[in-house]
Structure 1
Amino acid sequence: MNLSRIELLLERIAVAVENVAEALDTIAEKQNEVVKKNLYSQNKSNNTLELTEKNELGSLEEIKKENTETQQNFNKIDEFLKSKSIQIKSIPDEDAADYVINGMAVFIGDRYRSISKIYKKLKREMQHGGTITEHLANETQKDISNICQFCTRLHEMAFLEEYKYFKAPRYLIKAKTTILPRAQNFLSGQWVERYILENVKESIQFISQELSKTLSFSYLINPKIILPNGNDFELDIIFEVEGVFYWVEAKTGDYQQHINKYSNMAKSLNLDYKHSIMVLTDINPSASDSLSALFTMTVCQVSEFPNFIKKLLFEDHSQTK
């Protein structure tokens, strides 16, 4: 009799957990709808932007003005690099789909600890279009929700060919990766670069409001450059705020073979360790502190970057007029 009651209780718990999961999925779907409503498309024929949510993105005239100002400010970065005998070789074209990519990058970066296990499996299997199976029974409900949202959004973007989540009592995920170059580029590291850039923009906006003044800002992402010795090099992100320059590199895998090269690059740019930054997805705080001391660069976890850059920008610009 007691055993029957226990079985009934366990069944009720399982049903309750499944209901919670369904409720979280519903919330996630509503959040995705809000994001979709804010998307805008780029008309390449006349280089204008068609707004789908004016309240969120402002007027067409404001966006045109912002793009023009950014293009003019790009000269500051060009002049800075030329002063170091460095030439810009090429700059990737921006794409209307960057808006979706950036949103996904922020989702991953803000929840990296929660989804890192399945992210690494997808990243590995994507090299040959493989399939993964992941049991989630031992994960927290919050982590299950984050993982499911992660896979759902990748599937909606066609970055996963197939995706299925089996709810309680199985708690199982099955997904088939794609070999599309765009998907591979995104998961192999592009998302970290976009996460960094979005946090920089957000921090500048926050500090501008805190200080009640407008901070000029321009950036380049993935520009290819020619070094003084004639060698080619690609920067992940270089940006300036009120004429103060910052360089950030991002790595999702092994970094050991790159850090000495980046340290030398920091010297070529004549940037101190605070303004030469390496962001890594998987490194413990003690190791990042040691690397920062050894290679005259700031090395930090991806989860630490938002607070770090906000604090640095505030220190750099709170005393300026």
Structure 2
Amino acid sequence: MNHDRIEALLERIALALEQMVAQANQHRTPNVAYSQSHSDTEKTSLEPSSRNSNASSLSILEPFLKARGIQIKVRPAEDAADQVIDSLSLFLGERYDALAGLLSKIKRAMQTGAQITESLKDRPQQDISSACQFCTRLYEVAFLEQYQYFRSPTYLIKAKTTTLPKAQRFFGGQWLERFILQKVKAVYAQASSEVSEQLAFEYLINPQIILPNGDDFELDILAAMGSSIYWIEAKSGDYQQHVAKYSKFARLLGLDPDHSFMVLADVPEDRCEALSALFSMTVCTLRSFEEKLLTVVRSDTAQQSAAADGFSSTAGR
């Protein structure tokens, strides 16, 4: 690759990053206060949080894990590219049915940076639009080295994958975890808008932990809303080898099936229901996760509010 080509590529990446960050800022959820546990910072769109912001500890999740003999070994630092990854992840997750085949081809080819083709002939116009938009966005941030779409009569996508580590991580599963995290934040925003008091919120994403027996383990997402804890694992492709292990870990955390989620990208809803019945977890699809989590969170916040009202009434006597 010559110098001019490298310079042009860097300019294209920088421009795309600026545009995507600007777009993400425009659509950021308002009136949300939360603690980003992986960077130990608290944010609010209205005013500085009144809660104690201690960069050395977490107020809910770390004590919860410690009480079960679990240590946090590594908390991944916040990355400047998170907003771009989140934007791509949300696009992919919300259009997964249309993009699953294309994603599968990219994942198989990216180890060597090979070329791929994807035929869109006889596909609905909405699917064609989704595939072309997704590839364009990937190309803009250099997650594809080349991209070309041939219109009628071929309706064919041709692209060249990349071996860039950031792209490898994204396609290898990061997109799914970041998609789920955004759905968790959306559930928090909705639940928070439905209660009068401020609802505490913390999360950990991809923390490496040490179990009581000394084994290493990596969580996808652990979140706290109010005084309730929610553990979410997300899988694409094969999941069978993980279900029993996750079911056992849920018992270690002391979480019931309503608070332990496994989100599977490539299974139908009826199979999720069967898996939920067999293992002590709520197994769901990308499409159904947000609604199921919101139902549980609403129930939890209602119980917490009722308990608080009851305590106030008793104290006032």
When normalised by structure 2's length, the TM-score is 0.81
Gaps of 5+ in 2: 1-16, 32-42, 306-317
Q: Which has the larger radius of gyration?
A: 1
Q: Is 2:115 the partner of 1:131? A: yes
Deviation track 1:105-137 (CA, whole Å, cap 9, x = no partner) reads: 111111111111111111121122121111111
Aligned pairs, number? 278
Distance verdict in 2 for CA 1:70–1:169, change over 3 Å: farther
Query: What is aligned with 1:149?
Result: 133
For residue 83 of structure 1, the aligned residue among 49, 53, 67 is: 67
Following superposition, the deviation at residue 244 of structure 1 comes to 0.6
Alpha-carbon contact 2:232-2:261 (below 8 Å) kept: yes
Q: Is 2:210 the partner of 1:226? A: yes
Following superposition, the deviation at residue 65 of structure 1 comes to 3.6
> Which residue identity is paired with 1:263?
S
Deviation track 1:262-289 (CA, whole Å, cap 9, x = no partner) reads: 1111111111111111111101122111
Query: What is aligned with 2:242?
Result: 258
> Which residue identity is paired with 2:247?
S
Alpha-carbon contact 1:101-1:191 (below 8 Å) kept: yes
Query: What is aligned with 1:308?
Result: 292
Following superposition, the deviation at residue 193 of structure 1 comes to 0.8
Deviation track 1:14-54 (CA, whole Å, cap 9, x = no partner) reads: xxxxxxxxxxxxxxxxxx997442467xxxxxxxxxxxx79
Following superposition, the deviation at residue 70 of structure 1 comes to 8.7
Query: What is aligned with 1:171?
Result: 155
Following superposition, the deviation at residue 226 of structure 1 comes to 0.5
For residue 22 of structure 2, the aligned residue among 13, 37, 48 is: 37
For residue 78 of structure 2, give the secondary structure of its aligned residue in structure 1. Answer: coil
Alpha-carbon contact 2:29-2:189 (below 8 Å) kept: no
> Which residue identity is paired with 2:281?
M
Structure 1 residue runs of 4 or more that deviate by more than 6 Å after TM superposition: 53-58
- C-alpha distance in structure 2 between counterparts of 1:114 and 1:70, whole Å: 44
Gaps of 5+ in 1: 1-31, 41-52
RMSD of aligned alpha carbons: 2.8
Between the aligned residues of both structures, percent identity stands at 47
- C-alpha distance in structure 2 between counterparts of 1:165 and 1:298, whole Å: 40
More helix by share: 1
Deviation track 1:266-317 (CA, whole Å, cap 9, x = no partner) reads: 1111111111111111011221111111110111111111211122211211
Distance verdict in 2 for CA 1:54–1:210, change over 3 Å: closer
Query: What is aligned with 1:287?
Result: 271
Deviation track 1:70-115 (CA, whole Å, cap 9, x = no partner) reads: 9588231110001100111111111111011111111111111111
Alpha-carbon contact 2:24-2:87 (below 8 Å) kept: no
Distance verdict in 2 for CA 1:246–1:71, change over 3 Å: farther
Query: What is aligned with 2:230?
Result: 246
Query: What is aligned with 1:194?
Result: 178
Alpha-carbon contact 2:21-2:83 (below 8 Å) kept: no
